[in-house]
């Protein structure tokens, strides 16, 4: 199972990742570094330790439980410290911690194991018109042999597959699974390439090119626009997005404007990182309605606020 992707969560009864009741599978690893990322634990492809120092009492149970002796108690802070070069992420420390200060993020599943979890909720998919959403991180930069096997099995079970993607991946990865994917939830974060590079860490040329090719190849695509005031949440960006969709004949039955929120900001400290979006603002209800009306006036009648 050494080539199996790392999965952080298999979330049941999800209603925000596509139509109907869905099971969302979150893969670990993403080529973007969005300043406001709500799921920073999915940015790197490897497993990680999440540590909450406020919950740590310095009892030493985690250190005693670690076979690799990767954990020690800092005499200055009296908190546990982990040498990530030694850590094997097997979770012994998490099991030993009585305060819930530690967690191992991510584990590898075989395709069979993922399918077993998914099939437990088959009746909900049938009744609600739901299915499975593969999310992340970024699905399309994972081991594509694994992803292709998974979507083929879901297709044979007549379970609809949605792919939540930022678009920053080789197009051949999209092409090989296209026959088995019902809908792509495609993020368009920002049209200006330099602004995109500043806030997402990479330019957007590949993202835009892949969107055009997916549309040309007949994919069903929902456009999703994370709306951050001063970045993507501007009239100029919304006008440019509308122009791009129209000029390139991108067919999309639905557009979702996703208002920025900072509910994931607390995760950063637990990963030993600083949240970079502290200066970002939450869009007002009036702003979101104005942007939605811009799309509706341009002919995109099925424009929704939220996911």
Q: Is the pLDDT of residue 14 over 90?
A: no
**How high is the pLDDT of residue 127?**
87
Q: Which helix (H) or strand (E) holds 9?
A: strand 6-14
Cα–Cα distance measured from residue 132 to residue 145, given in angstroms and rounded to the nearest whole number: 18
Write down the pLDDT at residue 70: 95
Whether the pLDDT of residue 22 is over 90: the answer is: yes
Positions of CATH 3.30.70.20 in the chain: 48-105
Mean pLDDT confidence for 269-282? 93
Residues of the chain with CATH 3.20.20.70: 6-45+109-305
The pLDDT, as a whole number, for residue 2 is 64
Percent above pLDDT 70 for the chain: 99
CATH code for residues 6-45+109-305: 3.20.20.70
The answer to whether 250 touches 188, Cβ cutoff 8 Å, is no
The CA-atom distances, in angstroms, between 176 and each of 109, 138, 145, 305 are 22, 16, 10, 32
CA distance 115 to 109: 10
Question: Is a pLDDT exceeding 80 seen at residue 133?
Answer: yes
- Please name the helix (run of DSSP H) or strand (run of DSSP E) that holds residue 174, with its range, or none: helix 171-177
160 touches 132 (CB < 8 A): yes
Q: What is the pLDDT of residues 61-91, one digit of tens each?
A: 999 999 999 999 999 999 999 998 999 998 9
pLDDT confidence of residue 106: 95
Q: Does domain 48-105 have CATH number 2.40.50.140?
A: no
Q: How confident is the model at residue 286 (pLDDT cuts 50, 70, 90)?
A: very high
> With 80 as the cut, is the pLDDT of residue 1 above it?
no
Cis peptide before 137 (omega within 30 of 0): yes
Q: What is the rounded average pLDDT of the residues 139-162?
A: 97
> Which of the four pLDDT bands, split at 50, 70 and 90, describes residue 153?
very high
């Amino acid at each position: 199972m050494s080539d199996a992707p790392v999965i952080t969560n298999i979330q049941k009864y999800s209603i925000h990742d596509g139509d109907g009741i869905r099971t969302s599978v979150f893969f670990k690893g993403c080529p973007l570094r969005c300043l406001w990322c709500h799921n920073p634990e999915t940015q790197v492809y490897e497993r990680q330790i999440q540590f909450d120092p406020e919950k740590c009492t310095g009892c030493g149970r985690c250190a005693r439980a670690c076979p690799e002796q990767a954990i020690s108690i800092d005499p200055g802070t009296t908190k546990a410290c982990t040498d990530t070069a030694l850590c094997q992420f097997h979770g012994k420390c998490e099991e030993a911690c009585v305060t819930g200060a530690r967690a191992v993020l991510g584990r590898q599943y075989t395709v069979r194991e993922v399918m077993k979890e998914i099939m437990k909720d088959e009746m909900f998919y049938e009744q609600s018109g739901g299915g499975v959403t593969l999310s992340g991180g970024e699905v399309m930069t994972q081991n594509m042999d694994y992803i292709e096997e998974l979507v083929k099995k879901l297709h044979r079970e007549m379970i609809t597959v949605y792919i939540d993607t930022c678009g920053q991946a080789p197009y051949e990865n999209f092409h090989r699974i296209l026959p088995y994917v019902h809908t792509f939830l495609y993020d368009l974060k920002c049209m200006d390439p330099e602004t995109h590079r500043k806030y997402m860490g990479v330019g957007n040329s590949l993202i835009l090119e892949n969107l055009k090719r997916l549309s040309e190849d007949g994919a069903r695509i929902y456009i999703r626009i994370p709306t951050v005031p001063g970045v993507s949440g501007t009239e100029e960006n919304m006008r440019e997005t509308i122009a791009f969709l129209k000029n390139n004949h991108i067919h999309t039955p639905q557009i979702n404007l996703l208002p920025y929120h900072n509910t994931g900001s607390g995760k950063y400290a637990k990963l030993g990182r600083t949240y970079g979006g502290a200066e970002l603002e939450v869009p007002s209800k009036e702003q979101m309605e104005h942007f939605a009306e811009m799309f509706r006036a341009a002919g995109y009648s099925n424009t929704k606020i939220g996911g």
